[in-house]
Amino acid sequence: MIFVKALLNLFVSIVTQPAILVGLIAMIGLMLQKKSLTTVIQGTIKTAVGFLVLIGGSGILQDSLDPFAKMFKFALHVHGVVPSNEAVVAIALVKYGSITALIMFVGMMINVLLARITKFKYIFLTGQAMLYMSCLTAVVLISAGLGTGWTTIILGGIFEGTLLTVTPALCQPFMRKITGGDNVAMGHTGNIGYATSGLIGKLFGDNSKKTEDLNIPKSFGFLRDSTVSITLLMSIVYIVIAIISGPTFVENKLSSGTNYLVYSLVEAGTFAAGFVVVLQGVRMILGEIVPAFQGIANKIVPNSKPALDVPIIFPYAPNAVLIGFFTSFIVGTLSMFAMIALKTTVIIPGVVGHFFCGAAAGIYGNSTGGRRGAILGSAVNGLLISWLPIFILPVLGNLKLAASTFADTDYLIPGILLGNLGSMGTIALVAGILIFFVAVILLGTVFSKNKKITASK
């Protein structure tokens, strides 16, 4: 029993560290291609370090957004539930840690199986997202009365593995437009929202006017440098919210005595620095993981693609990143005031969630509908991540009493559906998961074969 627990802890430690997980994937891919020892070592280390650089940049972005969130909450004097995947999972893992790990292991196996036998050739490689999805699945299934045994583990793994196989497929048509190729997929838990944003851009946008083609006068040519433009824009935003919050709050609670305006400028610059670090990490990863992954694609899952974390697309449209973030956050703020007026549970906009998901939604909307698509797509995504948390709270059991909840569309929409199935009884819940699994297999095998037959006639 002790040995099994040690192995389980080792497994969780590996898969929840994306740098190690992706480094191992790169190593396996290079070894399958029978590359030289030097190439294997070089590719493995550079892939792992690239992910550490990416994660470090994401951490800098989150840390710089934290004081902004505190100033925002203080300035508006609101109390409610803050969507934060990290916070709610930290609470849930205390009680559901072991079963979460086992669901994640089964889910990874299901993902590989489906990628092998269907046309959905996407291997989900964002470790923390897999962990959070496993945790959500465990909480919903247990709260629905399924218990903590192997039934929950197997069904939970089937549900998670199927979901993490099919959601990158929803995004891939837009990923091809964004990246100009078909080498990587989106491996994040906002995929449903991103695909929705891309569709909104396609239906209502104007693809002739891209966010990256903004006509900037020569006298403001320095704004074409993304580092400069991001720093200036975030400086204005931070200073405004700091002035509203007041120097007393900022200097006593956040800046340790540093002048509140100076502190705001430093945090804005730190945000821009985090963005620069993210861009460097993306360059390193794409330069190593795509060639290395060909070994797995050719040997284990032919033609498969790695589904990577959301910052992987930020370099392709920096202007859309900012447009998407601010649009999503403004929508979240307006939604909060609407909730106060309607006397519902108040969902306070989570700055981190609106940044990463809003930014990505802006990029997806821009890919199909230009600037208008970026605004409309991120606005719709902002509505989803603002209002759906109200509906997932009732299906989270004891966690509905927590001050935080899940933030991204791929937790919210499937979680609500799964929870409502559970309220209809165990049979409905089991049947729903199995129907979902079988439907994806049919969509990815039978229908794709029929399409090939039709095309050959």
Give the per-residue pLDDT at 457: 44
How do residues 144-173 score in pLDDT, each as one tens digit? 888 778 899 999 999 999 999 999 999 999
- Between CA 368 and CA 363 the distance in angstroms is 9
For the chain, give the percent of residues with pLDDT over 90: 45
CA dist 440 and 443 (Å) reads 5
Average pLDDT estimate for 269-296: 80
Q: Mean of the per-residue pLDDT values for the chain?
A: 86
360 vs 130, residue with greater confidence = 360
Distance CA 236, CA 242 (A): 10
pLDDT tens digit string along 10-37? 766 776 676 787 788 788 888 988 889 9
Question: pLDDT tens digits for 199-241?
Answer: 999 999 999 989 988 776 666 666 566 678 788 888 998 999 9
Task: Give the three-state DSSP class for 323.
Answer: helix
pLDDT in tens, 53-68: 877 887 888 888 889 8
Q: pLDDT tens, 33-51? A: 888 999 999 989 988 888 7
Looking at residue 219, its pLDDT comes to 64
CA end-to-end span of the chain, whole Å? 58
Q: Give yes or no for residue 450 having a pLDDT over 90.
A: no
Residue closest to 404 by CA, chosen among 93, 88, 143, 86:
88
Distance, in Å, from the CA atom of 378 to the CA atom of 385, rounded to the nearest integer, reads 10
Residue 76: half-sphere exposure toward Cβ, Cα within 13 Å = 17
SS3 225: coil
Residue, of 400 and 284, whose pLDDT is higher: 284
Instruction: Give the per-residue pLDDT at 438.
Output: 95
* pLDDT class of 454 with cuts at 50, 70, 90: very low
Residue 395 · residue 139 · CB < 8 Å = no
pLDDT for 449 equals: 55
Model confidence at 8, pLDDT cuts 50, 70, 90, reads low
Q: Are 202 and 196 in contact (CB under 8 A)?
A: no
Q: How far is CA 167 from CA 43, 122, 192, in A?
A: 28, 9, 7
3-state DSSP call for residue 309?
coil
Q: Which helix (H) or strand (E) holds 206?
A: none
Read off the pLDDT of residues 242-266 as tens digits, 9 standing for 90 and up: 999 999 999 999 999 999 999 999 9
pLDDT in tens, 296-337: 766 788 888 999 989 899 989 989 998 999 999 999 999 999
- pLDDT above 80 (res 362): yes
Does the pLDDT of residue 128 top 90, yes or no?
A: no
In this prediction, residues 380-389 reach a mean pLDDT of: 96
Rounded to 5°, the CA angle 185-114-429 comes to: 105
Q: Decide: 133 and 163 in contact? Cβ < 8 Å.
A: yes
Write out the two tokens for 38. Answer: 């030097």
Compute the residue count for the chain. 457
Strand boundaries in 13-138, DSSP class E: 82-83, 122-124
Q: Give the pLDDT band (50/70/90) at residue 371.
A: very high
Where is pLDDT greater, at 79 or 388? Answer: 388
The C-alpha atoms of residue 268 and residue 237 are separated, in whole angstroms, by 8
Is the model's pLDDT at 453 over the cut of 60? no
* pLDDT of 455 above 50: no
CA torsion angle for 181, 183, 189, 194 (degrees, to 10)? 10
pLDDT the model gives residue 19: 79
